[in-house]
Amino acid sequence: MPANRGDTVLTRAFSGRLARGLRNRLAEYLESIPTVLPYPVPSELLAPLRRAALSRHRVDMMPLFAGQGAPLLRHRQAKDVFDALVSEADAILRARE
């Protein structure tokens, strides 16, 4: 299922600068805190949490940045991206025969 605008949030909470991130448990929690620290303090404070979350595969507890093209996302897993690349490349090559 493609991402939509509701899957992302504009926030200063991840780094202190305005950025688009994927909406997850961490983003929602940080958005509930009224004070935003200046750049780059939030990123430095979140670094230990980010490392711990990464080692435990807890994407709900790490800042996940996303560009404005997030709603154009077609695949959610690397396997799906790879399968699509192979399939589409094969179709192009067969069309050239």
Strands, E assignment, the chain: 8-11, 19-22
pLDDT at 92: 94
pLDDT (tens digit per residue) in 21-33:
989 999 999 999 9
pLDDT surpassing 60 at residue 2: no
Distance CA 77, CA 1 (A): 11
pLDDT (tens digit per residue) in 19-77:
999 899 999 999 999 888 999 999 999 999 999 999 999 999 999 998 777 767 776 77
pLDDT at 47: 96
Q: Is the pTM of this model over 0.85?
A: no
